[in-house]
Amino acid sequence: MGVETERIRSLNEAPMREGAAYVLYWSQMNRRVDWNHGFAFASQLANEHGLPLLVYEGLTCTYPHANDRLHRFVLEAVPGTAAELKRARAGYFFYLRATRQHANDVLYRLAAKALCVVTDDYPVFIAATHNSSVPERIGVAYYAVDSSCVVPMSRHEKRAYGAYTIRPKIKRELPTWMKPLDPVTLRRPWNENLLPADLRELRTNVTPENIPGLVAGCEIDHKIPPSPSYTGGADVARRHLDIFLEKKLSRYAGESNQPSKHATSDLSPYLHFGQISSLQIALAVRDYAAEHKLMADDFLEELIVRRELAFNYARFVTDPGTLDNVPDWCKRTMAKHAGDPRPVTYTPEKLERAETYDELWNATQKELLIRGKIHGYYRMYWGKKVIEWSPTYAQALQVMIHLHDVYAIDGRDPNTYTNILWCFGLHDRPWGERPIFGQLRYMSLDGMKRKTDTSAYIREIAELERTGKDIYRI
């Protein structure tokens, strides 16, 4: 069976090119070969038209907040992708635009010989911008394919108010969509001679050995070092999944809110850069749980309901990172408490440097600075405290988005904006009135100490900071 039409959007009226040399798949967000509906759809088109398939993947120095951490994570996946595409008989054109002087029109030049362009449907950040501007200029048919969600985003006609409104719909739809994606065998193998010589020399050869040198040669922010915890790559993502199944799934329901227990999957960086598919994870978890008589509901709630609520939110708003999008009760309560005294405030710089009086909060911020991700439970506490310590709600929002943009490997994601806005009441409900927060949910240090082993976590992060090594790296 082919890729479902519900996953495919045609984004322009341009025709398929007559006499084309290949089909072009532009891998913007789903930087993987397996379980990729965009790649599969492009392969289908290639077979239907008797053409080979070329995959284009780019990484540019102009990527917003481009830095060593993000570049390293993306580049580490490239040799694996190259090997998989070779096995699949597709061509691969990886282009690292190291400086602003380097060519900025590679996609257009590749598209000039393509039957059509197939790319990833993604509701935020750079891919959303590309998908709204490129189709009009590209001159051939342009399709965006949703391989981000288990239940395609198009199955939701409107913005959901909260998890409780989207959950029943997702549950109803799941039996239709929880099924493996059949790989498509390409009939016409790729032939390098199809690439014009001037383009061939622009291609970047990436090997595990040359990655540090490539990163060093890019005009990007070199102050943010690579993560000592997360190595990029579809194979590493798959290892995280295997470890999750074998060692963590059985503990997830009981310990996922205990950061020092490391019972969560750590898959969010890989999901963000599309190095693994949520459908693949969901099926693997469901099947493993059935075979070993484990409960997977709590994990699947996060992976499918919560994550797809975030994609739903992002798809239906114009700017996902603004307080205009929170419900009216949040706006009213913030307006009422905007002038409340803030007994303690910190500048964005102090927050960034993890210089507050709160040892736990400082540890969470250091986890972001060093690992590039904060444990989910403490991430809520992290966000709530930024609200408490900022002079205005707007500044708190800006600080949180900025810190995610720069440091979080899983940042710049529908989950980033949705969860940061959750701290301001999005997808939540009113709670008891209190200063600064009004009816927004509040989280306290005492609560964290009662419910979690804060000392173990603080020790772990101190050790990470001292040694620069993460014993949890896989």
Ligand X SMILES: Cc1cc2nc3c(=O)[nH]c(=O)nc-3n(C[C@H](O)[C@H](O)[C@H](O)COP(=O)(O)OP(=O)(O)OC[C@H]3O[C@@H](n4cnc5c(N)ncnc54)[C@H](O)[C@@H]3O)c2cc1C
**Residue 376 within binding range of ligand X, rule CB under 6 A:** yes
Q: Which residue is nearest to ligand X (CB)?
A: 376
**Residue 460 within binding range of ligand X, rule CB under 6 A:** no
Nearest approach, Cβ of residue 403 and ligand X (Å): 10
Question: Binding mask 229-258 vs ligand X (x if CB under 6 A, - otherwise)?
Answer: ---------------------------x--
**Residue 408 within binding range of ligand X, rule CB under 6 A:** yes
Please pick, from the candidates 23, 116, 310, 448, the single residue that binds ligand X as defined by CB under 6 A: 310
**Residue 365 within binding range of ligand X, rule CB under 6 A:** no
Reduce the secondary structure of the chain to three states and give it as a string.
CCCCHHHEEECCCCCCCCCCCEEEEECCCCCCCCCCHHHHHHHHHHHHCCCCEEEEEEEECCCCCCEHHHHHHHHHCHHHHHHHHHHHCCEEEEEEECCCCCCCCHHHHHHCCEEEEEEECCCCHHHHHHHHHHHHHHCCEEEEECCCCCCCHHHCCCCCCCHHHHHHHHHHHHHHHCCCCCCCCCCCCCCHHHCCHHHHCCCCCCCCCCHHHHHHCCCCECCCCCCCCCCCCHHHHHHHHHHHHHHHHHHHHHHCCCHHHCCCCCCHHHHHCCCCCHHHHHHHHHHHHHHCCCCCHHHHHHHHHHHHHHHHHHHHCCCCCCHHHCCHHHHHHHHHHCCCCCCCCCCHHHHHCCCCCCHHHHHHHHHHHHCCCCCHHHHHHHHHHHHHHCCCHHHHHHHHHHHHHHHCCCCCCHHHHHHHHHCCCCCCCCCCCECCCECCCCCCHHHHHHHCCHHHHHHHHHHHHHHCCCCCCC
Nearest approach, Cβ of residue 418 and ligand X (Å): 7
Stretch that binds ligand X, among 115-123, 129-137, 355-363, 407-415 (CB under 6 A): 407-415
Question: Binding mask 319-358 vs ligand X (x if CB under 6 A, - otherwise)?
Answer: ----------------------------------------
**Residue 227 within binding range of ligand X, rule CB under 6 A:** no
Closer by beta carbon to ligand X, 61 or else 303:
303
**Residue 404 within binding range of ligand X, rule CB under 6 A:** yes
Stretch that binds ligand X, among 46-54, 59-67, 332-340, 408-416 (CB under 6 A): 408-416
**Residue 306 within binding range of ligand X, rule CB under 6 A:** yes
Stretch that binds ligand X, among 94-102, 224-232, 326-334, 412-420 (CB under 6 A): 412-420
**Residue 271 within binding range of ligand X, rule CB under 6 A:** yes
Please pick, from the candidates 410, 440, 443, 457, the single residue that binds ligand X as defined by CB under 6 A: 410
Stretch that binds ligand X, among 142-150, 284-292, 304-312, 466-474 (CB under 6 A): 304-312
* Residues contributing to the site for ligand X (CB under 6 A): 256, 264-268, 271-272, 302-303, 306-307, 310, 376, 379-380, 383, 404, 408, 410-411, 413, 415-416, 419-420, 422-423
